[in-house]
């Protein structure tokens, strides 16, 4: 206490300010207190009792600035007031509100009690007003002590936080100073303080907001300047009222005395009459009224009674007339009442029937309506409602009225009146159950449906004809939600139905040419039937294949992690100059003739695969950013060249569930052979059989490929390689390119494969393959061999001439070593490689230079293996050229125009190819995918079993939910769990696509089908079998076990929305998987996105309570649209009973009211369903776009017709 006094007196001298403590006059420092509830229900707050005087008591501090010393007179203070402030501090203490307990009441809805509330006061600097003693200020009150409790529908004596709420208003300060007396009055203040609190209702967050108003705030304070004695806590320093010249002294509280008010002076009552005083009679009392005159005074009715009532003078009220009773005297008691009801008609019956008849003249309802809101209204103030302009349905108890108006006998409580104002003038429907006697009053926009047991009194008068009324209730709009929700499913079923019909009417797709294994060669189809040459005919295929000065440059890899990331993110198809990249090939030239088996040898990284990819004009083996130079020439007429080169990559990509014959057959259908709708089943079978026999696969034609994916043994590795070759040969290419076909095979199998390829070449084709380490027997089967080293051809010619060539270059083959192994060793050793490269002519930079001069043994154009000329002079000028542009992404036409196909002759990726329709693509892919699922159904059956099992399990968890608070909560939880279950089971799409990713990417890049065709069939089967059917299987036990609504429309919306949601997440999983290179990455992205979507979906958090800057996330959440659609569909038409034991009971609450509490707009049901449909279509388009972008942009290679 001493420290505070020292600080108080220290401040004026150090900082040039002066602090003057003023004491409030409690009786004059008053304000009017009130407010209103804003949330969850709007209602005004009134002070109880309304006449209660509220005010403040305590001390405030007047701070004068820019003074050398504290003024000792009131006049001095007045002169220093501009710029002064008024506030409470630790030295003055807070301002206490009186009375210490204040009650605010909102009718019967909520009661708020303020207890021991204290305020901190602060003002802005005083601004001089119109006169010298008037100043303008802004003042602020901050609640800094005490608390509040609330009693409402939901809780009793629930604490409500007050600390920290504040309000600001503008007012005026009037100051008077007379000698040492200083008085200050702050007045004209009106301010509002906003209080908030968080609660729960039925497990959902509930936010409360209350506005407290302080109006007409007036603070009167004073002090005496220069007061020497310390008056303590029971006194204040004041100037006595006996004169301005008197010295300031301590004024003590009642019960205290002494100079410093420190001595107790005995008991002091707060009530004057306790001292024994009597109430004095008023001097201005009115004289007594005069005596009434003799005789009875006339009776005058004080209210008007209805025709069914009579006035009772003794009670000054209305009694029921004879034969009438009930509330308002509207219930007939016997037939006599009804007989006298209609003038001219005397035969009436008083009935208790609830149904309207043609002779109903009067019908009243006496209902025992119990709506327990924990209200305190009394039973002698009943609520009555009047419906007007009603139409009745004869023979029923249904009445539909255009307007309803409700009122209380006396003034309604404030909260109830607010509800009645909302429904004023709204339509209503009245109906009763003849058996139970319960009547339903359904008033539009009223948050509850009123259901009560009623007794009816009906007057049926013979001869009276009742009018049914001309009011027609608004017809309910047609509900198209089930149709809208079913659009994705109908589209899916329509697509599957079309493909099944196509397959049914085109057995060439799914039926083999005959039963059993083929044992004899089938005759080749007639020329042109399949658009290809017969495989054994020497008259088909190009005469020779030349590659001249072929170069390839790819962007150089950057160093470091950031460089690697930058290279990976570079735009696809970006052009690089030769000086920027890494040269893979340097002006490589070579030659191969029809009927030859040509081999490329070289160590790893020598450019073999790149050269083969260029010769095959295949995007599979080429970098998408490769810059190519040189040209490739296929010699012969375009008609004889037939389809472009076929490319067989190093690794086999076969579908494990298909048989060998089925693999070759679907390749024949999809590789642009013309075997579309016009090809017969026999034509396809003959072509497939011929290829199988040519490669020695007829013995395993019906065997499954098998493998690890199928968990069963299949064909051998060599047979798998021959199947891959057969799938390329089946469309009759003149050139076959193979990348290390013997890799991974044992020596015996590899040699057998080489003999097969030798036969393929002898049948009139050019076969070019690469080796890594051929055996002598395999090397001897080659007709021509090329050795590549560091992107350059260091040898090309007859294998038999290789030893002499290397000896001439100073790198002789040691005795006993195989020449092929010696060649590879010489190309790998830097010393011997230098000697070889030094003797090679034309080793310029990539992209430049003329064709290299090849060693002897190449032969002449058109010469076969036996040296015989096979091309006459008339054909010598017919050349089919493929020119390689200097950079990717551009196409250069030839001398006589482009044909508009790619170099492989198979058409571009957007072109189905000659003779092949998009329908055929879809049908073949649909058949292949369906067969794969049927032969490996483990995942499909697991999906179905899990869905059915989880449906039963969750049905047991949420068994027969009720219509109370827990029932509403369980409905929300059960519906959200379904969505979470199907969202995370969609992750199986990741493994499904990854298992066939390499196969699909190779086939698409090879031109077998369009990406859209694959994704459409994939989405159709995946959606129908793994998304829709499991959703229906889950719902089959779950829906009835949970006890959800049985209305057919609601059931249909539930099923279709659930199926659409499952389709959406399945499409999303497909899009993510297509865009990711590994299953781990795809699963991680899926899990993170689904969890975020789950969090903002509207179940775990009320969307309206999320911060505005991040709330937009819910618009991207598929859970939000599906969950709000499902919960709205189920709950909106329900009537719920909300019972909080000991607090409140609200029965028949409309489901829409519950949805509003949890932040769901029931009017958005149709919109949310439409968005779900659009999300499905949009995500499928995204998956197609991502797959398209994942395909490499190959170098530009265009065929020209002639030169």
| 804 vs 806: CA distance, rounded Å | 6
Local mean pLDDT, 10-residue blocks, the chain (1203 residues) = 28 56 88 85 82 89 82 84 88 87 78 89 90 90 88 70 89 87 90 81 68 92 73 68 60 69 59 40 42 48 69 76 80 86 82 83 74 45 70 78 75 68 79 79 73 82 74 66 92 91 83 48 37 40 84 69 36 39 87 92 88 80 75 66 75 85 87 53 81 87 77 80 87 87 85 88 90 86 91 90 87 87 86 77 37 34 35 36 40 33 38 62 88 87 92 92 85 91 88 82 81 87 91 94 91 94 92 87 89 86 84 88 92 78 65 82 90 93 86 46 35
Do 257 and 143 have their domain in common? no
Do 995 and 1129 have their domain in common? yes
238, part of any domain = yes
- What integer pLDDT is reported at residue 525 of this predicted model? 39
602, HSE (Cβ side, Cα atoms, 13 Å): 28
Residue of 592, 670, 599 lying closest to 635 (CA atoms): 592
CB 201 within 8 A of CB 39: no
| 978 vs 1037: CA distance, rounded Å | 13
844, part of any domain = no
CB 1148 within 8 A of CB 1137: yes
| 723 vs 654: CA distance, rounded Å | 9
Q: What are phi and psi of 792, to 5 degrees?
A: -125, 145
Sole residue written with tokens 């659930």: 1058
Domain of 947? Answer: 918-1190
- What integer pLDDT is reported at residue 23 of this predicted model? 86
Do 215 and 241 have their domain in common? no
CB 1111 within 8 A of CB 1085: no
Q: Which residues of 307-346 are buried (b: 16+ CB within 10 A; e: fewer)?
A: ebbeeeeeeeebebbebbbbebbbbbbebebbbbbbeebe
- What integer pLDDT is reported at residue 245 of this predicted model? 52
Strands 331-332 and 324-325: antiparallel
Q: What are phi and psi of 31, to 5 degrees?
A: -160, 165
Report the domain count for the chain.
4
Q: What is the DSSP string of 1093-1126?
A: HHHTSSSSS-GGGS-HHHHGGGGG-HHHHHHHHH
Q: Which of 419, 435, 461 is the last residue of a domain?
A: 461
Question: 0.85 exceeded by the pTM?
Answer: no
Do 1129 and 1060 have their domain in common? yes
Residues with Cβ within 8 Å of 234's Cβ and at least 6 positions away in sequence, in order, are: 252, 253, 256, 261, 262
Sole residue written with tokens 């055929």: 920
Residue of 342, 346, 434 lying closest to 396 (CA atoms): 434
- What integer pLDDT is reported at residue 1105 of this predicted model? 82
1063, part of any domain = yes
- What integer pLDDT is reported at residue 522 of this predicted model? 41
Q: How many CB atoms lie within 10 A of CB 283?
A: 5
Residues with Cβ within 8 Å of 228's Cβ and at least 6 positions away in sequence, in order, are: 248
Q: What are phi and psi of 195, to 5 degrees?
A: -110, 140
Q: What are phi and psi of 933, to 5 degrees?
A: -70, -40
Residues with Cβ within 8 Å of 1053's Cβ and at least 6 positions away in sequence, in order, are: 481, 482, 485, 1125, 1129, 1169
CA 90 to chain centre: 53
702, part of any domain = no
- What integer pLDDT is reported at residue 568 of this predicted model? 34
Residues with Cβ within 8 Å of 300's Cβ and at least 6 positions away in sequence, in order, are: none
3-state DSSP helix/strand/coil percent for the chain, to nearest 5?
35, 25, 40
Do 247 and 166 have their domain in common? no
- The secondary element (H helix, E strand) that includes residue 363 is strand 360-367
- What integer pLDDT is reported at residue 993 of this predicted model? 82
- What integer pLDDT is reported at residue 840 of this predicted model? 65
Q: Which of 445, 461, 477 is the last residue of a domain?
A: 461
Do 247 and 162 have their domain in common? no
Residue of 586, 558, 549, 568 lying closest to 623 (CA atoms): 568
Q: Which of 173, 203, 225 is the last residue of a domain?
A: 225
- Classified as helix, coil or strand, 272 is helix
Do 933 and 1072 have their domain in common? yes
Do 218 and 367 have their domain in common? no
Residue of 984, 916, 1004 lying closest to 1194 (CA atoms): 1004
725, part of any domain = no
Do 408 and 363 have their domain in common? yes
1061, part of any domain = yes
- The secondary element (H helix, E strand) that includes residue 1079 is helix 1079-1095
Sole residue written with tokens 């009150």: 141
1203, part of any domain = no
Do 244 and 181 have their domain in common? no
- What integer pLDDT is reported at residue 1054 of this predicted model? 94
| 1073 vs 1066: CA distance, rounded Å | 10
Nearest 5°: the CA angle 929, 931, 933 is 70
Do 221 and 231 have their domain in common? no
444, part of any domain = yes
Residues with Cβ within 8 Å of 36's Cβ and at least 6 positions away in sequence, in order, are: 42, 43, 44, 45, 106, 210, 211, 213
Residue 1177 to residues 1029, 1180, 1191, Cα–Cα distance (Å) = 19, 5, 22
CA quadruple 406, 410, 416, 422: dihedral sign: positive
Do 116 and 29 have their domain in common? yes
> What crossing angle do the helices spanning 681-694 and 717-729 adopt, rounded to 10°?
130
Q: What is the DSSP string of 176-217?
A: EEETTEEEEEEEEEEEEEEEEEEEEETTEEEEEEEEEEEEEE
Residue of 238, 236, 235, 234 lying closest to 224 (CA atoms): 238
């Amino acid at each position: 206490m001493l420290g505070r006094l020292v600080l108080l007196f220290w401040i004026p001298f150090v900082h040039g300010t002066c602090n003057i403590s003023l004491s409030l006059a409690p009786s004059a420092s008053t304000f009017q207190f009130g407010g209103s509830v804003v949330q969850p229900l709007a209602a005004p707050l009134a002070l109880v009792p309304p006449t209660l005087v509220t005010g403040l008591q305590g001390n405030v501090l007047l701070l004068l600035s820019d003074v050398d010393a504290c003024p000792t007179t009131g006049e001095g203070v007045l002169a220093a007031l501009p710029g002064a402030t008024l506030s409470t501090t630790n030295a003055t203490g807070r301002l206490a509100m009186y009375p210490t307990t204040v009650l605010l009441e909102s009718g019967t809805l909520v009661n708020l009690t303020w207890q021991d509330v204290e305020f901190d006061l602060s003002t802005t600097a005083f601004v001089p007003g119109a006169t010298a003693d008037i100043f303008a200020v802004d003042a602020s009150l901050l609640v800094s002590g005490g608390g509040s409790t609330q009693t409402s529908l939901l809780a009793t004596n629930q604490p409500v936080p007050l600390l920290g709420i504040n309000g600001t208003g503008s007012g005026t300060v009037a100051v008077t100073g007379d000698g040492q007396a200083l008085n200050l009055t702050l007045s004209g203040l009106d301010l509002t303080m906003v209080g908030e609190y968080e609660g729960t209702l039925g497990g959902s967050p509930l936010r409360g907001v209350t506005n407290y108003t302080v109006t007409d705030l007036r603070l009167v304070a004073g002090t005496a300047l220069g007061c020497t004695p310390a008056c303590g806590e029971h006194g204040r320093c004041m100037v006595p009222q006996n004169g301005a010249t008197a010295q300031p002294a301590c004024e003590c509280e009642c019960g205290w005395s002494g100079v410093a008010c420190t001595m107790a002076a005995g008991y002091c009552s707060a009530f004057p009459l306790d001292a024994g005083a009597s109430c004095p009679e008023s001097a201005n009392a009115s004289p007594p009224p005069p005596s009434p005159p003799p005789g009875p005074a006339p009776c005058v009715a004080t209210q008007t009674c209805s025709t069914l009532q009579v006035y009772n003078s003794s009670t000054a009220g209305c009694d029921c007339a004879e034969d009438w009773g009930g509330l308002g005297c509207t219930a007939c008691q016997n037939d006599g009442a009804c007989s006298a009801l209609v003038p001219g008609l005397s035969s009436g019956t008083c009935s208790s029937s609830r149904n309207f008849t043609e002779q109903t003249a009067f019908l009243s309802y006496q209902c025992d309506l119990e709506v327990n809101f924990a209200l305190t209204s009394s039973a002698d103030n009943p609520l009555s409602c009047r419906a007007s302009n009603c139409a009745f349905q004869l023979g029923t108890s249904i009445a539909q009225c255009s307007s309803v108006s409700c009122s209380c006998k006396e003034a309604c409580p404030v909260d109830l009146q607010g509800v009645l104002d909302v429904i004023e003038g709204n339509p209503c429907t009245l109906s009763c159950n003849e058996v139970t006697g319960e009547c339903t009053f359904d008033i539009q926009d009223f948050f509850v449906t009123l259901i009560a047991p009623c007794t009816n009194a009906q007057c049926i008068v013979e001869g009276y004809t009742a009018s049914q009324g001309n009011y027609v209730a608004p017809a309910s709009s047609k509900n198209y939600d089930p149709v809208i929700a079913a659009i994705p499913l109908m589209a899916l079923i329509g697509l599957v139905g079309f493909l099944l019909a196509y397959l049914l009417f085109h057995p060439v797709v799914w039926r083999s040419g005959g039963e059993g294994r083929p044992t004899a060669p089938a005759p080749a189809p007639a020329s042109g039937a399949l658009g290809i040459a017969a495989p054994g005919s020497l008259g088909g295929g190009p005469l020779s294949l030349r590659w001249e000065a072929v170069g390839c440059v790819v962007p150089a890899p950057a160093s470091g992690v950031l460089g690697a990331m930058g290279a990976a993110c570079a735009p696809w198809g970006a052009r690089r100059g030769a000086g920027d990249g890494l040269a893979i090939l340097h002006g490589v030239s070579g030659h191969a003739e029809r009927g030859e088996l040509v081999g490329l040898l070289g160590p790893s990284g020598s450019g073999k695969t790149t050269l083969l990819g260029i010769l095959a004009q295949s995007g599979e083996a080429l970098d998408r950013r490769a810059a190519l130079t040189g040209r490739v020439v296929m010699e012969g007429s375009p008609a004889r060249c037939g389809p472009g080169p076929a490319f067989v990559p190093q690794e086999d990509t076969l579908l494990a569930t298909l048989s060998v014959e089925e693999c070759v057959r679907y390749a024949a259908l999809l590789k642009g052979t013309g075997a579309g709708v016009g090809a017969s089943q026999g034509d396809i079978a003959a072509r497939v059989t011929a290829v199988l026999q040519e490669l020695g696969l007829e013995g395993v034609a019906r065997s499954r490929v098998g493998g690890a994916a199928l968990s069963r043994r299949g064909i051998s590795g060599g047979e798998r390689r021959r199947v891959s070759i057969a799938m390329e040969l089946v469309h009759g290419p003149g050139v076959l390119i193979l990348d290390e076909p013997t890799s991974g095979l044992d020596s015996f199998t590899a040699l057998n494969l080489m003999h097969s390829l030798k036969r393929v070449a002898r049948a009139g084709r050019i076969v070019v393959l690469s080796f890594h380490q051929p055996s002598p027997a395999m090397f001897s089967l080659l007709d021509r061999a090329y050795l590549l080293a560091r992107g350059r051809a260091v040898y090309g010619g007859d294998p038999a001439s290789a030893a002499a060539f290397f000896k001439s270059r100073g790198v002789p083959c040691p005795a006993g070593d195989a020449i092929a192994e010696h060649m590879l060793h010489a190309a790998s050793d830097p010393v011997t490689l230098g000697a070889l490269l030094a003797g090679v002519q034309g080793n310029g930079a990539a992209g430049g230079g003329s064709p290299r001069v090849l060693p002897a043994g190449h032969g002449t154009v058109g010469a076969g293996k036996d040296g015989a000329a096979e091309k006459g002079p008339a054909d010598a000028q017919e050349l089919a050229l493929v020119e390689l542009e200097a950079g990717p992404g551009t196409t250069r036409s030839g001398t006589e125009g482009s044909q508009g196909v790619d170099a492989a002759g198979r058409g571009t990726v957007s072109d189905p190819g000659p003779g092949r329709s998009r329908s055929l693509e879809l049908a073949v892919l649909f058949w292949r995918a369906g067969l794969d699922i049927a032969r490996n159904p483990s995942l499909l059956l697991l999906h179905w079993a899990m869905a059915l099992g989880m449906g039963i399990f969750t049905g047991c968890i949420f068994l027969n939910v009720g219509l109370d608070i827990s029932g509403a909560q369980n409905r929300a939880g059960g519906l959200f769990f379904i969505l979470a279950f199907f969202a995370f089971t969609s992750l199986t799409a990741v493994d499904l696509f990854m298992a066939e990713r390499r196969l699909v990417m190779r086939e698409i890049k090879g031109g077998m089908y369009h990406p859209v065709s694959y994704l459409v069939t994939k989405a159709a089967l995946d959606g129908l079998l793994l998304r829709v059917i499991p959703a229906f299987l889950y719902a089959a036990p779950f829906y009835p076990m949970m006890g959800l609504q049985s209305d057919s429309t609601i059931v249909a919306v539930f099923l279709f929305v659930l199926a659409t949601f499952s389709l959406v997440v399945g499409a999303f999983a497909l899009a993510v998987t297509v865009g990711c290179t590994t299953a781990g990455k795809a699963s991680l992205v899926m899990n993170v996105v689904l969890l975020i979507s789950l969090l903002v979906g509207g179940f775990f958090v009320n969307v309206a309570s999320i911060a505005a800057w991040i709330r937009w996330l819910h618009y991207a959440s598929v859970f939000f649209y599906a969950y709000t659609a499902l919960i709205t569909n189920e709950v909106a038409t329900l009537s719920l009973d909300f019972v909080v034991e000991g607090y409140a009971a609200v029965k028949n609450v409309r489901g829409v009211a519950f949805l509003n509490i949890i932040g769901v707009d029931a009017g958005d049901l149709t919109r949310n369903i439409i968005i779900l449909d659009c999300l499905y279509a949009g995500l499928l388009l995204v998956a197609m776009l991502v797959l398209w972008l994942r395909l490499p942009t190959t170098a530009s290679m265009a065929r020209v017709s002639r030169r």
